[in-house]
Amino acid sequence: MEETKVVDVQALINAHRFSRYQWLVFAMCFVIVLMDGFDTAAIGFIAPSLVGEWHLSKAALAPVLSAALFGLACGAVLSGPLADRWGRRGVLIAAVLIFGLACLVSGYARDLTELTALRFVTGVGLGAAMPNAVTLMSEFCPNGRRATIVNLMFCGFPLGAAFGGFLAAWIVPQFGWRTVLHFGGAVPMLLTVMLVLALPESMQYMVSKKKPVERIRKVLARIAPQAASAESFVMREGVAREAGAGGARVVLSRSYIFGSMMLWLCYFMGLVIFYGLINWMPVLLRDAGLTPQRAALVSALFPLGGAGAVLCGLLMDRFNPNGVVAAAYAFGAVSVCAIGQAIGNVGLLVCAVFVAGVLVNTAQASMPALAAAFYPTSGRGTGVAWMLGVGRFGGIAGSFLVAELSRQQMSFSGIFTVVAMAGAASCIALLLKQVASRRVVPEVADKLPLAH
């Protein structure tokens, strides 16, 4: 076989400009992540309305605020191994369909018990969608731009959450809180149709699973036309020494276990901050004297700050990515503390919330790209999904933490100081991962071809 007929998939992607087809994949994944953010945060923005309509105490909201997070953890943990075994595309489409349908039905819940159950099902779909969108997108990216592009895609999550706040502030007084959930379900249902028609499977996955060469050629030729004449495709990357090793066996191997644990700890602590604030900030601000509408608008600035992940991605592609993200967590912890000191001045409060959102959400949005680059193809789906899944328990912890601090009548500033400590823990975890990675001798064979 002529050498020109054998194509290294990643090398060709690296050498070719980012094509219109790759931008199409990006757009579909971006909208998935956007609606993931919207549906995840929606419950926090309608919480004040639930308190009024169903005559609930703040503590009674904890189960419904956390139900989706339990589902998110389950969906992520289960979907990673499924994606590494059966493919990213099918799992991703099923996940979007599940969370869209469940969110739509949530708008018809008659009581807190029904809403809690439906939010759990919604969370299962959301938890499966996010890691597979990240994994699929990362495998369509050139190595030198992966962090930038994946972070840009992940910006959809905080933007979707922020949009939920702005929409809730306008639509709830006009049409009621149920309309927010109806919107959050209808859009993913329509998106599912587009995904079935246009979303491709990962080429790296197809090569690693020895799928028919025609399928790989059809996708790769839309990125680089010269691939249309290829007769065989290979990947050259570090792979597990043990034949057939993949998924959980890679993530938990000696070479990856410590780094995996630090990624889990970091993402866990980051979500303590994110969900602790996104779920409770509207209620806390209202209790501190702001009107419900102003509390929703100010709170919406926090997830909006995630757009800074694009700059972080550029820095990660040029400098040490662990150090870049660790610095964002460290400064984010300081800025969260500042929110608690600014409640007497609305102008300062707005600035503090926005800056905290930029730093915390930038760091958190950069974690999937960090994880995707850390694992090989054979374990990438599981590695990214398990980080997101284990981290979701941080969101659960954050929601219950703020609920308990509020029940104990801790001061507004005290609550934000406690929550900010999680940012410092995330920073330390990434620094430890960086130090340990310099000492570990990888259990991989460098540049072994996976021929098809």
* Residue 437 structure tokens: 């990675």
Closest CA to 419 of 287, 280, 320, 293: 280
Which residues 6+ apart lie within 8 Å of 382 measured at CB? 80, 81, 83, 84, 246, 247, 248, 250, 251, 375
Burial (0-12, 13-18, 19+ Cβ within 10 Å), 230: buried
Residue 415 to residue 276: CA distance in whole angstroms: 10
**What are the pLDDT tens digits along the chain (452 aa)?**
344 577 777 778 888 888 888 999 999 999 998 888 887 777 777 777 776 767 777 667 777 777 877 888 888 888 878 887 788 888 999 999 998 999 899 888 888 888 888 889 988 998 889 888 988 888 888 887 888 888 888 878 878 877 877 777 777 778 877 888 888 889 999 999 999 999 988 888 888 777 788 888 888 888 887 777 777 777 765 444 444 455 677 778 787 888 888 999 999 999 888 878 877 777 777 766 676 667 777 777 776 655 677 777 778 888 888 888 999 999 989 888 888 777 777 778 778 888 888 888 888 888 888 888 788 777 777 888 888 888 878 877 887 788 778 777 777 777 888 888 988 899 998 999 888 776 544 444 344 344 44
Is residue 211 classed as helix, strand or coil in its secondary structure? coil
Domains belonging to the chain, first-starting first, are: 7-440 (1.20.1250.20)
Amino acid identity, position 213: V
Amino acid identity, position 434: Q
Say if residues 355 and 101 touch (Cβ distance below 8 Å): no
Q: What is residue 345's DSSP assignment?
A: -
Residue 62 to residue 41: CA distance in whole angstroms: 14
**What burial letters (b/e) apply to 319-337, b meaning 16+ CB within 10 Å?**
eebbebbbbbbbbbbebbb
**What burial letters (b/e) apply to 339-376, b meaning 16+ CB within 10 Å?**
bbebbeeeeebebbbbbbbbbbbbbbbbbbbbbbbbbb
* Helices 20-54 and 146-154, axial angle in degrees (round to 10): 30
Could you write out the DSSP letters of every residue in 163-194? HHHHHHHHHHHHH-THHHHHHHHHHHHHHHHH
